[in-house]
Amino acid sequence: MIAVFVPGVPAFAHTTVKSSVPAANASVKAVPTTVTLTFSERLSILPKVSVEDSAGNIINSGKATLDGAVITQPVTPTVAGKYTVKWSAVAQDGDRSTGSFGFTLAVTPPPPPSPTPPPTTAAAAPTSASQAAPLAASESSSSSTWWIWVLAGALILAFVVVFTVVRRKRV
C-alpha cells in the first residue's frame, strides 16, 4: 500500500559504448580513416574522443561528428601496432561517463604523399597564357578600386570646405 504513495525512482544508467569500428580488442588489417563509436543512448553534447598510438601520440585528424548516438572521429594512423581509443561522454541526464578500449593495426600504413617540389628546369616554365591570368586578375582588382580613392578624396575635400566655411562664420 505504501508503494502507491512513494513516487517511482528513475533508473539512472550511464551511457556506454555499445559497439565500435574498429571493434574493441580487434586486429585490423586495413588502415582505418575513422573510428566510430555507437553509444547506448542518444547524446546531445559531442563526446570527447582521442585515439592514441602506443607512444601516446594522438592521431585524431579532424573534428568529430555526432549523429544521435553515433560519433565518428577521423584518424590518421602512422604505424602498425596497438592503438587506444579514449572517450568521455555526457548523457542526456547530465551524467558523465568515460571509457577506453584498444585495437591493433596489423598492417603498416602507406607513407603520406610528399609535396611535389616546384620545377627547376626551363622547360617547365609557365606559358605566357598562364602568366597572363594572374596579371589580369591583379589589374582588374586595382582598376576596380579606383572609385574608392576618388570617393575618399571627395569626402576629404568636402570636409575641408565645410570646416573652412563653419570656421569663417564663427570669426
What integer pLDDT is reported at residue 12 of this predicted model?
A: 52
pLDDT single digits (tens) 15-57: 899 999 999 999 999 999 999 999 999 988 899 999 999 999 9
Residue 90 clears pLDDT 60, i.e. is over it:
yes
Q: Which of 98, 86, 94, 73 is nearest to 21 (CA)?
A: 73
Q: What is the DSSP letter of 122?
A: G
Mean pLDDT along residues 86-97: 88
Maximum mean pLDDT: which of 16-20, 125-129, 134-138, 157-161:
16-20
Q: Give the per-residue pLDDT at 132.
A: 46
Average pLDDT score over residue span 150-155: 84
What's the rounded Cα separation, in Å, for the pair 143 and 13?
A: 67
Average pLDDT, the chain: 80
Angle at the Cα of 84 from the Cα atoms of 86 and 69, rounded to 5 degrees: 45
User: So where are the chain's domains?
Assistant: 14-105, 134-170
Q: Are 52 and 59 in contact (CB under 8 A)?
A: yes
For residue 7, pLDDT beyond 50: no
Give the CATH class of 14-105.
mainly beta
